[in-house]
Amino acid sequence: MSSTAGKLVTSRSELELDHPNIEDYLPSGSSINEPRGKLRLRDLLDISPTLTEAAGAIVDDSFTRCFKSNPPEPWNWNIYLFPLWCFGVLVRYCILFPLRCITLAFGWFIFLSSFIPVHSLLKGHDRLRKKIERVLVEMICSFFVASWTGVVKYHGPRPSIRPKQVYVANHTSMIDFIVLEQMTAFAVIMQKHPGWVGLLQSTVMESVGCIWFNRSEAKDREIVARKLRNHVQGTDNNPLLIFPEGTCVNNNYTVMFKKGAFELDCTVCPIAIKYNKIFVDAFWNSRKQSFTMHLLQLMTSWAVVCEVWYLEPQTIRPGETAIEFAERVRDMISLRAGLKKVPWDGYLKYSRPSSKHSERKQQSFAESILARLEEK
């Protein structure tokens, strides 16, 4: 009975988190001029659970939840577990982390000592050079996965080089590309990054046909769209990989897919990626953490556990729009990876409204409901 009661309490607390208190979103009594003796919105919400739940669903900020990393629950809370936790910290930081750094450094040594001569000396033999560079990129990505003690399970047939096809996947972190690249050398479309990541983008990853863009440049959209169409028509180009969400989401949700990948008049191959958070949360919150710190977090964890599903290729149906096609593919990925769909545009992450604007919208929402109720 005690365990059952505990489950009920947990379920109730989870429901309370999913449905925030509507009172927190309503303006104070002084902010709305209410005639004395008339029924107030607060009174109606108190006596109508259905109306309360509906209003709570409207004002609930499910958008913010898509980009929140959930901190692990502390388990070293007593004198018996704390020494074990300290021992684990010593093992991870003093033994595993140095070994992983050595592994990654060794991988970079092999890669650079091979990539630089191949890239420089085989410029007249493009077919052979691309083939060798493809193998080397897959190899260095395998070293990256090994440096996290990555445990990755792949389901489905391995991607192949074919014209008129594009692969799309949900996006949690930049390591999604590394996890997929160690199996197949994809040409990915990605935001241009500064620092050492940008250097790799313009040199190493450029060799496999990757395409870069800058969100702040409107003209980049037309250039990228043209490059995408040219790439998918090539018979010897690496498979094209696109993350249509356009931003990193915390692997609990999927936001709206951009329709660009679904307007190329080619076969779309969905890929579902699901990370197990038993050891570490693989979500990269680029606003709070640099990619270097993100990698250090992964390298000081016990392991990164992940599953990848290569799903059945899809083509657009007669009379189906690109947006409907994108939603159908998103349904497949969300169902396979166990992710919740939300009707948000991921680019809002970079242009969120101000808090004052949100407060005005919330007050306007409450006043509009009250006015409609008074009319009736």
List the domain range (segments joined by +) for residue 153.
147-346
**Does residue 72 lie in a domain region?**
no
- What is the 3-state secondary structure of the chain? CHHHHHHHHHHHHHHHHHCCCHHHHCCCHHHCCCCCCCCCHHHHHHHCHHHHHHHHHHHCCHHHHCCCCCCCCCCCCCCCHHHHHHHHHHHHHHHHHHHHHHHHHHHHHHHHHHHHHHHHHCCCCHHHHHHHHHHHHHHHHHHHHHHCCEEEEEECCCCCCCCCEEEEECCCCCHHHHHHHCCCCCEEEEECCCHHHHHHHHCCHHHHCCEEECCCCCHHHHHHHHHHHHHHHCCCCCCEEECCCCCCCCCCEECCCCHHHHCCCCEEEEEEEEEECCCCCCCCCCCCCCHHHHHHHHHCCCCEEEEEEECCCECCCCCCCHHHHHHHHHHHHHHHHCCEECCCCHHHHHCCCCHHHHHHHHHHHHHHHHHHHHHC
Instruction: Report pLDDT for 360.
Output: 59
**Does residue 102 lie in a domain region?**
no
For 31-78, write each residue's pLDDT tens digit.
444 444 554 555 554 555 555 555 555 545 667 788 887 777 777 778
Instruction: Report pLDDT for 161.
Output: 82
Instruction: Report pLDDT for 21.
Output: 46
Model pTM score: 0.75
**Does residue 325 lie in a domain region?**
yes
**Does residue 253 lie in a domain region?**
yes
**Does residue 1 lie in a domain region?**
no
Say if residues 44 and 369 touch (Cβ distance below 8 Å): no
For 210-227, write each residue's pLDDT tens digit.
887 766 555 667 777 788
Instruction: Report pLDDT for 329.
Output: 96
Nearest-angstrom CA–CA distance, 111 and 137: 8
Instruction: Report pLDDT for 199.
Output: 75
Token pair listed for 181: 């690249």
Strand partners, 305: 151, 276
How many domains is the chain partitioned into structurally? 1
Instruction: Report pLDDT for 306.
Output: 96
Nearest to 184 by CA among 152, 208, 212: 208
Buried b (16+ CB within 10 A) or exposed e, 46-67: eeeeebbeebbeebeeebebbb
Instruction: Report pLDDT for 78.
Output: 81
Q: Which residues of the chain have pLDDT under 50?
A: 1-36, 39, 45, 59
**Does residue 352 lie in a domain region?**
no
**Does residue 75 lie in a domain region?**
no
**Does residue 298 lie in a domain region?**
yes
Instruction: Report pLDDT for 72.
Output: 74
